[in-house]
Structure 1
Amino acid sequence: MFETFCQRLHSSKPFVTVEITPPHGASMDGVLEAIKASGLQEKVTGFSVTDNPLARLKMSSILSAIRVQQRFGKPVIATMSMRDRNKLSLQSSLLGANDFDIRLILALTGDPAKFSDQPEVKGVLERDSTLLLSIIYRLNNGFDYSGQPLDPAPRPIYPFAVSNAYAKDMKHLQKRMVKKLDYGARAIITQPVFDLDNARELLEIFEEAKGLSVRETAKEAELILGQFPVVRARTATFIDDKVPGITVPKAIIDEMNLAAMDGAEKEREVGFTLSKRIFDEILALHPKVHLMTHNRFELCANLMKNIV
């Protein structure tokens, strides 16, 4: 399953993953039924599962990933945040996930604990996400982080990393890409991209980053362009103002605000048309896309309607 997933990632065919946010509750059943009702599991290459985004309490990303993968038989990228775990916990979680065949891991530093909805939460943060990438590198060679051999050794783990989509100094962003490739990332998923110029620039600096990396695996690394379909003006404003690392162009916010003045139906119509255009254009430019929609699976299915 994972070999096929990686082959698709390296091919010229459309590669689309969809992000799932686990519930603030003790069952994934509602999320799984919503995915099934949309038929999305028949369209996507795989799924990803978030890990307490914005430091707000959700069900375990790894346990949720197990449910999704077992239910739909599609590879699932499990997010692991450095904010909530030390070296011991990270290794323990990776080994347990491996036994359940959760082997696609997205390494995140994690949103700051100050955003949490839980009182007096403190981040662990022994280091940034490169620590998790270096742990995965050691596990893939049959050793724990201290150098002790593992018996049995885990099956291969495929590490993913993230990148902002825009920075005032794009060379600084490129340096961060190089660092993650040096630590063994097989693919980098960007924050949402909203225009083709931004997408082209990201692809250009990523190709340069691959050449600058000291790691042999960087030569085959891929960039996956994030997409966040915006169908409500309020959502566009919120993610631009409140979500770290995401910038929504003012032109899109203005167009959505004008549409909202003509009612909710017009707002949704304009938002979907905008989102579909951006999705189609970016997929045509670079057929590797990661959709983030806050569990709006029907919206994802509609965006992907014409994709075989």
Structure 2
Amino acid sequence: MSNRLSPDLPPSAGRFRQAIQAQEFLITAEVMPPKGGNPAHMLEMAALLKGRVHAINITDGSRAVLRMSSLAASVLLQQQGLEPICQMACRDRNAIGLQADLMGAEALGVRNILALTGDPIKAGDHPTARSVFDLESVRLLRLIDKLNRGLDFNDRPLPDGATSLLVGGAIDPQCKSWSGLQRRFERKLEAGAQFFQSQLISDFERLEKFMDQIAASSGKPVLAGIFLLKSAKNAQFINRNVPGVQISQDTIERLERAANPLDEGVQIAAEQVQLARQLCQGVHLMAVKREDLIPQILDRAGIAAVTEPTA
């Protein structure tokens, strides 16, 4: 299977783009922006990932909870020599605002974008705020494809130059509707997605089926979402609150029996990285508030350090 980018996608020195072009096993991790004006903790966590991941995802109002702008946080990471993937959700901006931020990202050198619809307002900490949803993720992907071709949302030329954004989409291989999953993946592929990051994977047989029957012919890399479970209680919370995810009872009991549940969670995540390595082209690591443990997960999984980008 070829994972090469479309020939018309402009080249970039970005390490993540180079790794896709070279068909490397891709490693990304997620870091949340601060809830306030001080980015010190975010930068401290992100710095621990230098040399271990190809890029770091910066969330955009995940779960509809207020945090610093993903674009601003991405620029701060970039200033520290870390390559960001700037998540961009449709919930809080109309088509004008999305285009403005995407052109701003281009000018600031933030060229990796994950296009998302966004979580519903009622799930977060500002339930009376107004949603926008002028677009959703597929239409946002199409919009970015237009900007990369030098056109705006209304197909008018951009007089000051096209963008050169590398854009990805989110997928959920554990979606209950197989036909819906296939249709959504194909629509995102057609709209211009160059890579895919999955939601938390708990069913690796389902991931294998997705790769074999849906994603294999796409030629685009799929990164499996690996989540650090900190305790049996954490796993049970996910089962109750994350649609489509079911942490197995065996895993919950394993965490319950462990003398050190957090260390056992690190070991489980490492084993899942090894499983994913046999099935797809990368992993996307999520270790909420314990990003410092991601290098340990990768070490236990036998994943070597990431080489620096070439000029």
Alpha-carbon distance change, 170 to 45 in structure 1, aligned in 2, over 3 angstroms = same
**Paired residues for 1:154-165 under 5 Å:** 154-165=162-173
Pairwise CA RMSD of aligned residues? 2.0
Structure with more of its chain in helix, by fraction = 1
Deviation of residue 2 (structure 1)? 4.6
Residue 110 of structure 1: aligned partner: 118
**Paired residues for 1:76-87 under 5 Å:** 76-87=84-95
Aligned mates of 1:51, 1:230 — CA distance in 2: 22
Q: Secondary structure at the match of 1:304?
A: helix
Does structure 1 residue 57 correspond to structure 2 residue 51?
Answer: no
Alpha-carbon distance change, 220 to 286 in structure 1, aligned in 2, over 3 angstroms = closer
Does structure 1 residue 22 correspond to structure 2 residue 21?
Answer: no
Deviation of residue 11 (structure 1)? 3.6
Deviation of residue 110 (structure 1)? 0.8
Identical-residue share of aligned pairs (%): 29
Unpaired stretches in structure 2, ≥5 consecutive residues? 1-11, 305-311
Q: Which amino acid aligns with 2:28?
A: T
Q: Is the 8 A contact 2:46 2:77 kept in 1?
A: no
Alpha-carbon distance change, 23 to 229 in structure 1, aligned in 2, over 3 angstroms = same
Q: Is the 8 A contact 1:231 1:275 kept in 2?
A: no
Residue 5 of structure 2: aligned partner: none
Deviation of residue 297 (structure 1)? 2.0
Q: Which amino acid aligns with 1:66?
A: V
Q: Which amino acid aligns with 1:43?
A: R
Moved over 6 A (4+): none
Residue 271 of structure 2: aligned partner: 277
Aligned mates of 1:269, 1:286 — CA distance in 2: 26
Aligned mates of 1:235, 1:286 — CA distance in 2: 26
Q: Secondary structure at the match of 2:50?
A: helix
Deviation of residue 3 (structure 1)? 5.1
Alpha-carbon distance change, 34 to 190 in structure 1, aligned in 2, over 3 angstroms = closer
Does structure 1 residue 46 correspond to structure 2 residue 45?
Answer: no
CA offsets per residue over residues 283-308 of structure 1, 9 Å max, x none?
Answer: 24434111111142221010112322
Does structure 1 residue 307 correspond to structure 2 residue 306?
Answer: no
Deviation of residue 270 (structure 1)? 2.5
Does structure 1 residue 255 correspond to structure 2 residue 254?
Answer: yes
Residue 173 of structure 1: aligned partner: 181
Alpha-carbon distance change, 247 to 93 in structure 1, aligned in 2, over 3 angstroms = farther
Residue 149 of structure 1: aligned partner: 157
Residue 262 of structure 1: aligned partner: none
Deviation of residue 158 (structure 1)? 1.1
Deviation of residue 12 (structure 1)? 4.6
Q: How many residues in Structure 1 have an aligned counterpart in Structure 2?
A: 291
Q: Which amino acid aligns with 1:130?
A: V
**TM-score of the aligned structures, taking structure 1 as reference length:** 0.87
Deviation of residue 134 (structure 1)? 1.2
Residue 67 of structure 1: aligned partner: 76
Deviation of residue 242 (structure 1)? 1.7
